[in-house]
């Protein structure tokens, strides 16, 4: 008996190229509104970074969306212009609803390799100018499902009956999936949602068609359907993040770290930031402290 009425299939596989971002951080940008992957609404980008000091992401603004920072290894220190400070360690999650504006810095907090995934989730027009807020979970509080060679960290949404406590204004599913050799995993994804996977290690198989060996740092876009079946037919561990979200179907105008619906609103965001007003008041005098 097939697991789903309309199993989703792989429709596109894109290798992410390395590019520098912020201050010397070498990143692999997996999805951007670029020509290759336009229709992944509500997602704006997924960045994989392997960052060592002195590189990092010094003081910079955001407006109009959410940043989801998930640490894979090492740690990052973040500080914002409202005095919010924290250290995000391996397995920790920071879901930052930027809304009307945040100025912050995100710097590696250990001398070694600090591996980070950052997803940008767009906000609806109605939510773009809401007050900023954070939802932060330590690794021990990220809900996990272990079953038959499967270990899923439920970052957002629910999996095998286990629900994340994270409130997602834009309905989102975000799973960190580790599959031992021979494991199988069937995950429902609501019809109409856009969905993709980003492979971190191994060669997992997605969909009923045996896709070619899939390698690390590959984005796999999934087509329409009500769920995805995955196997690990190899003899080594597979790890990937599986991400899906309900499209907003609104115009997207992005200028760096500002994402609004019209150019007018982008000009306003730039003006507000430069004149420390309309949500950027605290940007007037704030500078981040050096990370020890
Ligand atoms: N200057 C500038 C301009 C635009 C940015 F988006 C950023 C930025 O913060 C990041 C872009 N990818 C990322 N991945 C992980 C982390 Cl922790 C941060 C970022 C930045 F710094
Ligand atoms: Fe940032």
pLDDT in tens, 133-192: 999 999 999 999 999 999 999 999 999 999 999 999 999 999 999 999 999 999 999 999
Say if residues 198 and 243 touch (Cβ distance below 8 Å): yes
Quote the CA–CA distance of 72 and 115 in Å, as a whole number.
5
- Per-residue model confidence (pLDDT) at position 217: 84
Which of 167, 157, 160 lies closest to 244, judged by CA?
A: 157
pLDDT band at 228 (very low <50, low <70, confident <90, very high): very high
- Per-residue model confidence (pLDDT) at position 75: 98
Interface predicted TM-score (ipTM) of this complex, two decimals = 0.96
Q: Please give the average per-residue pLDDT across 276-283, as a whole number.
A: 97
Nearest CA to ligand 1 atom 15: 118
21 alpha carbon – ligand 1 mean position (Å): 6
* Nearest ligand (C-alpha, residue 109): 1
22 alpha carbon – ligand 2 mean position (Å): 9
Residue 211 clears pLDDT 60, i.e. is over it: no
From residue 231, alpha-carbon distances to 66, 107, 124, 182, 214 in Å are 31, 36, 35, 7, 12
Residue 116 clears pLDDT 90, i.e. is over it: yes
44 alpha carbon – ligand 1 mean position (Å): 13
Quote the CA–CA distance of 224 and 89 in Å, as a whole number.
35
- Per-residue model confidence (pLDDT) at position 32: 57
Quote the CA–CA distance of 19 and 194 in Å, as a whole number.
25
Q: Please give the average per-residue pLDDT across 206-234, as a whole number.
A: 84
pLDDT band at 214 (very low <50, low <70, confident <90, very high): low
Query: What are 68's strand-pairing partners?
Result: 95, 119
State whether residue 157 is helix, strand or coil. Answer: coil
- Per-residue model confidence (pLDDT) at position 34: 54
- Per-residue model confidence (pLDDT) at position 1: 73
State whether residue 283 is helix, strand or coil. Answer: helix
- Residue 7 DSSP label: B
pTM of the model: 0.95
Say if residues 235 and 149 touch (Cβ distance below 8 Å): no
Q: For the segment 50-76, what is each residue's pLDDT rounded down to a tens digit?
A: 999 999 999 999 999 999 999 999 999
State whether residue 201 is helix, strand or coil. Answer: strand
- Per-residue model confidence (pLDDT) at position 127: 98
- Per-residue model confidence (pLDDT) at position 129: 98
Query: What are 242's strand-pairing partners?
Result: 175, 197
Q: For the segment 2-50, what is each residue's pLDDT rounded down to a tens digit?
A: 799 999 999 988 887 777 777 777 777 766 545 566 679 999 999 999 9
Determine the residue of 57, 74, 257 to mutate for testing ligand 1's pocket, defined as the one with the most ligand atoms within 8 A of the Cβ atom.
57
- Per-residue model confidence (pLDDT) at position 180: 98
Quote the CA–CA distance of 252 and 260 in Å, as a whole number.
6
For the chain, what percent of residues have pLDDT higher than 90?
A: 82
């Amino acid at each position: 008996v097939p697991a789903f009425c309309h199993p989703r299939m792989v429709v596109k596989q894109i290798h992410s190229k390395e590019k520098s971002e912020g201050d010397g951080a070498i990143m692999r940008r997996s999805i951007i509104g670029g020509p290759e992957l336009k229709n992944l609404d509500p997602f704006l980008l997924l960045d994989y970074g392997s960052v060592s000091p002195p590189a990092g992401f010094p003081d910079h603004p955001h407006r109009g969306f959410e940043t989801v920072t998930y640490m894979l290894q090492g740690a990052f220190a973040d500080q914002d212009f409202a005095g919010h400070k924290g250290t995000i360690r391996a397995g920790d999650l920071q879901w930052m609803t930027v809304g009307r504006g945040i100025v912050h810095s995100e710097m590696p907090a250990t001398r070694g390799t600090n591996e980070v995934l950052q997803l940008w989730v767009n906000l609806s027009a109605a939510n773009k100018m809401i007050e900023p807020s954070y939802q932060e979970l330590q690794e021990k509080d990220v809900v996990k499902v272990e079953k038959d060679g499967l270990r899923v960290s439920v970052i957002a949404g629910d999996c095998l009956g286990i629900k994340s406590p994270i409130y997602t204004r834009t309905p989102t599913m975000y799973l960190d999936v580790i599959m031992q050799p021979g494991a199988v995993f069937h995950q429902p994804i609501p019809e109409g949602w856009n969905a993709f996977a980003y492979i971190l290690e191994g060669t997992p198989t997605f969909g009923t068609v045996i896709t070619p060996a899939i390698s690390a740092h590959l984005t796999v876009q999934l087509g329409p359907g009500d769920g995805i079946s995955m196997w690990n037919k190899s003899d080594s561990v597979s790890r990937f993040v599986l991400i899906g979200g309900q499209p907003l179907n609104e115009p997207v105008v992005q200028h760096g770290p500002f994402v609004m619906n019209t150019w007018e609103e982008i000009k306003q965001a730039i003006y507000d930031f430069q004149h420390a007003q309309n949500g950027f008041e605290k940007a007037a005098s704030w500078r981040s402290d050096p990370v020890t």
